[in-house]
Amino acid sequence: MRAPFSAGVALAAWAALAPAEALGVARVELQLVPPQPVAGTPFRIVYTLHVQNEEPASGAPLQCGGLEVLANPGGPSTSSFAVLGGAGFQLSMTTSVEYIVRAPRPGTYVVTGARAVSQASGRVLAQLPPFTVRVLAGSGAAPAPQPPQPQGFPGFPGFPPMPGFPPMPGFPDPQTPPPEVPRPAYEADPDAPPEGALTGAQFQQDGFLRYAVDNPTPYVGQQVILRAWLYVPAGDAACDPVREPSVTGFWSESLMLLRGLCARRWTMQNVNGRLYGAGMVRKIALFPTRSGRLEVGPMAMTVEYLQGDGFFGTRRQTEASSPSLVLEAREPPARGRPSGYVPGTLGPLGLTSELDRPSCTVGETVTLRLRAEGNGYLGSVGLPQLTPVDGVRMHLGASRAHTDTSSDQVRGTLEQEVLLVPTRPGSFPLGLLQVPWLDPSSGTYHTAQAQLPTLVATGAALEPEPGAHTDDPQVALEPLREEPSLAPPRTLFTTVPRAALALGFPPGAVVLSLLGAIARRRWRRREDEALARARSDPGSLLAEARRCHAAGDARQALDLAGRALAQARKALEADGRSADAGVAEAQARCDGARFAGDTAEVGPVLDSVAQAVASLEAGA
């Protein structure tokens, strides 16, 4: 048995059961060492379990209520003792463990959860009421020296050292003080519920939800962490979400995975004169996508908890909710803003670039990979276009963006591919990539730079294109068929005969003009129908493509071939069928030859397109 506690420090709860012949007693105790702990200095909470004529029991883990737990061996247990004896036989078992804790600041802390539980039936044998720990402010004085421990075998948890036995190898010598380990300076836990006035919540006696953000006025794209806590008048609770927070105007990323739990890190807090358990249920990183007033919608949960002790407590069910939360997102500063800055690009930002191969043959495609790493989601801001290089065709390729949420600061990565095709031999420096970014802490702009590599091309130069680059022939705008006349107008009434002729035959002129208008309209309609058939008929388009190829216009021939293949594919898909792999291969060859400007491949490409069109028309 341990010595009695100091007055006002140790509390005990007795739970007695009456077996047939002997009295069963269980008791749990808590003791502070030293009795008056100091903020910032580690101290011990001795957790003792005493059982007399009872079944094996164990102590539940302690909820330290805001104290920083440095060492926690778990609750004490008597399961290793053998319970023997008959009627009238008294058997006492006592074991204890020590929690090494540290208070971050002076004040009052409440330790809960000290109770003895039967390992066989799970019933509560004994329970302590909330245990109050009063922590004093540090005075800077050195801690009181501890009495020397006797030489001997080191004790296990719950057992004192045994004098007379030499220290065993691998165990520390009790007489040798342990080496001092430097303790880092204490920092406030950002995941702990805020202290002081109750903000971001509407108080409800049976339970409520509370919101808080670390920055209510962020810049566009700047990260804001939204935390939500569940408050219940108990040590913990079970919950089920009814309504999640709505985050319109934000891009969001969850920073906490509960894995079936209701909340994380329950702590005790005094709210309106009552003790509540607060557990964090949501932790979300928000990034404003626009400036102005942005609102986070309310959240609701169904909650179930045990009010009172584990033996005589009452199970309660309620619905906890929170109010909405308003943030004011700010535009990036106008002063000093670079011309190419995209709102939402925050730093620090890093840029890298690489070619899949440094040299190639003229006409081959080389991939340039650009990579940017910074804070937030970079997929929404992108990278600027590269400066055109004479002798190199550029085309945007695949783009990939992903985020890293392993820490509270979300980091984003953006990878952009640029396809390069040299049209003549030579060495082509690709220039310098510059991306301006904003430092939200100071409101100043900076520029990230990356020197792009040099591409070396060998071989013969490609033939120049016959005309300017056009869009996709399937969506290209057709020119107007008619042009306005530039001839000056002539006056009808220039002579008397002409005036008499015009005045004498007005009805005939009207009728002739009407007939002429009708004839012209019919002629134009037939012409438009013939032209539409020629533009939508794959055979006519292929025939025109071969005529252009024979005339040396490779670019126009490939455009007409692509249009013919597209029209045949549309006719097949209109019947609810899909094209085969040969059609896709022909389309790829046609697009590749058109992009690379390879005139030598025009004839084989036209043949493959003709075969694909024939197969599509046969399928339709």
- Please count the structural domains in the chain: 4
Same domain for 308 and 218, yes or no, is yes
Q: Which amino acid is at 263?
A: A
Same domain for 314 and 356, yes or no, is no
DSSP structural state of residue 537: -
pLDDT at 188: 64
Tell whether 512 is covered by a domain. no
Same domain for 391 and 308, yes or no, is no
pLDDT at 556: 80
Ranges of H-type helices in 413-505: 496-504
Tell whether 541 is covered by a domain. yes
CA angle 558, 559, 565 (to 5 degrees): 85
Domain boundary pick from 458, 489, 515:
458
Tokens matching residue 328: 């004011």
The parent domain of residue 309 ranges over 208-329
Q: Is 530 exposed, middle or buried (0-12, 13-18, 19+ CB in 10 A)?
A: exposed
Tokens matching residue 279: 């557990």
How confident is the model over 447-461, as pLDDT tens digits? Answer: 999 999 999 999 998
Tell whether 582 is covered by a domain. yes
Same domain for 390 and 292, yes or no, is no
Same domain for 439 and 396, yes or no, is yes
Tell whether 502 is covered by a domain. no
pLDDT at 132: 87
Q: Which amino acid is at 157?
A: P
* Three-class SS of 95-128: EEEEEEEECCCCEEEEEECCEEEECCCCCEEEEC
Q: 18 with 45: CB under 8 angstroms?
A: no
CA distance 538 to 367: 34
* Sign, CA torsion 562/563/569/572: negative
Domain boundary pick from 428, 458, 488:
458
β-strand partners of 618: none
Q: 99 with 78: CB under 8 angstroms?
A: no
Q: Which residues contact 398 (CB under 8 A, 6 or more apart)?
A: 417
Q: Domain holding 110: CATH number?
A: 2.60.40.10
Q: Domain holding 437: CATH number?
A: 2.60.40
Same domain for 98 and 134, yes or no, is yes
Same domain for 19 and 89, yes or no, is yes
Same domain for 292 and 350, yes or no, is no
Low-confidence ranges of the chain (pLDDT < 50): 1-22, 82-89, 140-165, 168-172, 174, 178, 180-187, 468, 470
Same domain for 372 and 322, yes or no, is no
Q: Which residues contact 541 (CB under 8 A, 6 or more apart)?
A: 534, 535, 560, 561, 563, 564, 567
Tell whether 155 is covered by a domain. no
Tokens matching residue 302: 């169904």
Tell whether 163 is covered by a domain. no
Taking every pair of Cα atoms in the chain, the longest distance, rounded to a whole number of angstroms, is 150
Same domain for 73 and 18, yes or no, is yes
How confident is the model over 156-207, as pLDDT tens digits? Answer: 444 444 444 455 444 445 455 545 444 444 446 788 898 888 999 999 999 9
The distance of Cα 463 from the centroid of its chain, to the nearest Å, equals 49
Would you tell me the crossing angle of helices 602-619 and 554-574 to the nearest 10 degrees? 10
Same domain for 268 and 378, yes or no, is no
Same domain for 272 and 325, yes or no, is yes
Tell whether 181 is covered by a domain. no
Tell whether 118 is covered by a domain. yes
pLDDT at 492: 60
Domain boundary pick from 432, 458, 484:
458
How confident is the model over 213-268, as pLDDT tens digits? Answer: 999 999 999 999 999 999 999 888 999 999 999 998 998 999 988 888 899 888 88
Q: How distant, in Å, are the alpha carbons of 2, 347, 615 from that of 27?
A: 12, 58, 89
